[in-house]
């Protein structure tokens, strides 16, 4: 967004003549608006020019004025003349779409995909907390900028934002040029809710995690047709780096029936965003619970044990994978606890190793990693279904104080 590949043509606009726009520098278009490169108060800005006869701009301006969040684009000023209204907004480096298109000025802004997705979600959660639906979430309306070396994400384009009462739906009409990211209910002209935004958010997630693709096809018309028809999404394009953890979340976010989709709070709580310390604490709490409780969900964990571990004994798989010909030298690393060959024993192994990893042998650490977190990364890569399946099973006790922070 900051890159200028033309000679600017500046003109002053508005009744007070304190806003300048570059008439050649158009960032984007809306149903009743254009967004220009601009200057205001001696700094670069974005200027949204609105046709007041086609837009309820007073509502948009009032909405922008009262929003204050790190992940929402900042409103600066409004002016008008005989033809247009001009809304001055902070200038960002580029859009998420620019990053997906790999434009020259986007280098490094999308290096941490999960942090970008988390910030987008935090901005949407803030809007929903104010009983506001965005209704137009797509990569061109997600802006990225660097602040003191840190990438900050802002949600923008509130031309189709509407205030809603809590748990109240409003009639939708198809707007803008972002049909590839609309929810089924928008395309079917049905009532919408906060969970309609979640569907659009899920499509943005998919784009980021699949290098710009859609789970509903490659062509815009096909995407809209498939979403409207309720065709099941195809998750094959999701990066293998995130596939095991992201796909379960995407399945829920892109559910054709909005009542089955999560709220944004549930999305942000998902294990896709957990750091290694939280994953280990979860495994520890699960292992302790299973040790003390012989009923549900212990029974369910035993039933899915082979699905998680595979056909081999987990100890054999781990030892063979790690040590090959040196198995006997390391057998003592596992035998100390005489653990069962099931997923409950595997969880106990991870728990015990985490608490005593500092005392493990140099030979073991050379293979698995120096730290507890590296050990955990190794174990979850060897048993990729351990976290997703355990998380699903333990939802039955999510109200238990030991697990409420995870759900």
Mean per-residue pLDDT for 152-175? 60
Sorted by where each begins, the domain ranges of the chain are 10-90, 94-273, 276-406
| Beta bridge partners of residue 28, listed in sequence order | 35
Q: Is the dihedral of CA 340, 344, 349, 351 positive or negative?
A: negative
Peptide bond before 327: cis, by omega within 30 degrees of 0?
A: no
DSSP-derived 3-state class of residue 244: helix
pLDDT for the residue 324: 53
HSE, CB side, 13 Å, CA atoms: give it for residue 190. 13
CB of 225 within 8 A of CB of 187?
A: no
Mean pLDDT score across all residues of the chain: 87
Chain length of the chain: 407
CB of 200 within 8 A of CB of 138?
A: yes
CA–CA dist 47, 87 (Å, integer)? 6
Class of domain 94-273: mainly alpha
CA–CA dist 21, 205 (Å, integer)? 33
pLDDT for the residue 5: 64
Say whether pLDDT at 217 is over 90: yes
DSSP-derived 3-state class of residue 205: helix
Same fold, 10-90 and 276-406: no
**pLDDT 10s digits, 356-377:** 888 887 877 888 889 999 999 9
Using the 8-state DSSP alphabet, how is residue 72 labeled? Answer: B
CA distances from residue 214 to 205, 218, 237, 252 in whole angstroms, order as listed: 10, 7, 8, 16
Mean per-residue pLDDT for 170-197? 79
How many H helices and E strands in the chain? 18, 13
CA–CA dist 258, 122 (Å, integer)? 20
pLDDT for the residue 170: 46
CA distances from residue 344 to 102, 129, 281, 315, 318 in whole angstroms, order as listed: 45, 40, 15, 12, 15
For the domain spanning 10-90, the CATH number is 3.30.200.20
CA–CA dist 95, 21 (Å, integer)? 19
Say whether pLDDT at 326 is over 50: no
pLDDT for the residue 67: 92
CA 319 to mean position of chain CA atoms:
36
**pLDDT 10s digits, 132-143:** 999 889 999 999
CB of 182 within 8 A of CB of 228?
A: no
C-beta atoms surrounding 217 within 10 Å: 18
**pLDDT 10s digits, 7-41:** 889 999 999 999 999 998 888 776 677 899 999 99
Say whether pLDDT at 3 is over 80: no
DSSP-derived 3-state class of residue 348: helix
Cβ-count burial of 298 within 10 angstroms (0-12 exposed, 13-18 middle, 19+ buried)?
A: middle
Mean per-residue pLDDT for 126-131? 94
CA–CA dist 301, 342 (Å, integer)? 9
* pTM beyond 0.85: yes
Say whether pLDDT at 336 is over 90: no
Cβ-count burial of 289 within 10 angstroms (0-12 exposed, 13-18 middle, 19+ buried)?
A: middle
**pLDDT 10s digits, 245-303:** 999 999 999 999 999 999 999 999 999 999 999 999 999 999 999 999 888 899 999 99
Report, at the CATH architecture level, how domain 276-406 is classified. Answer: Up-down Bundle (1.20)
H helical segments located in 153-239: 184-187, 194-209, 220-229
Say whether pLDDT at 4 is over 60: no
Mean per-residue pLDDT for 158-186? 62
């Amino acid at each position: 967004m900051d890159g200028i590949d033309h000679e600017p043509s500046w003109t002053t606009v508005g009744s007070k003549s304190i806003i300048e726009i570059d008439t050649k520098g158009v960032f984007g278009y809306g149903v009743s608006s254009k967004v220009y490169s601009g200057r205001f108060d001696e700094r670069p800005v974005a200027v949204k020019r609105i046709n007041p006869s086609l837009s309820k701009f007073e509502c948009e301006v009032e909405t922008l004025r009262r929003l204050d969040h790190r992940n929402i684009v900042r409103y600066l000023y409004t002016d008008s003349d005989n033809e247009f209204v001009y809304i001055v907004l902070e200038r960002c480096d580029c859009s998420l779409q620019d990053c997906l298109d790999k434009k020259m000025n986007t280098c490094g802004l999308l290096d941490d995909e999960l942090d970008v997705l988390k910030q987008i979600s935090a901005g949407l959660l803030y809007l929903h907390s104010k009983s506001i639906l965005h209704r137009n979430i797509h990569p061109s309306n997600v802006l990225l900028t660097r602040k003191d070396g840190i990438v900050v994400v802002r949600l923008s384009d509130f031309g189709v934002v509407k205030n809603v009462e809590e748990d109240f739906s409003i009639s939708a009409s198809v707007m803008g040029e972002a049909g590839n990211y609309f929810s089924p209910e928008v395309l079917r002209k049905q009532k919408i809710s906060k969970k309609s935004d979640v569907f659009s958010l899920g499509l943005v997630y998919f784009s980021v995690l699949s290098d710009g693709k859609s789970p509903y096809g490659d062509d815009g018309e096909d995407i809209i047709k498939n979403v409207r028809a309720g065709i099941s999404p195809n998750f094959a394009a999701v990066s293998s780096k995130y596939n095991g953890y992201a796909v379960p979340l995407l399945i829920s976010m892109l559910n054709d029936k909005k009542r089955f989709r999560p709220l944004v709070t549930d999305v942000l709580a998902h294990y896709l965003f957990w750091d290694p310390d939280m994953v280990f604490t979860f495994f520890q709490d699960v292992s302790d619970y299973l040790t003390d409780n012989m009923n549900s969900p212990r029974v369910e964990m035993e039933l899915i044990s082979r699905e998680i571990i595979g056909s081999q004994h987990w100890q054999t798989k781990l030892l063979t994978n790690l040590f090959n010909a040196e198995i006997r030298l390391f057998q003592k690393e596992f035998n100390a606890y005489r653990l069962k060959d099931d997923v409950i024993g595997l969880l106990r192994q991870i728990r015990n190793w985490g608490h005593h990893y500092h005392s493990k042998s140099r030979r073991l650490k050379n293979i698995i990693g120096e730290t507890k977190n590296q050990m955990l990364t190794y174990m979850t890569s060897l048993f990729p279904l351990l976290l997703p399946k355990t998380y699903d099973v333990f939802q039955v006790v999510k109200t238990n104080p030991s697990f409420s922070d995870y759900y």
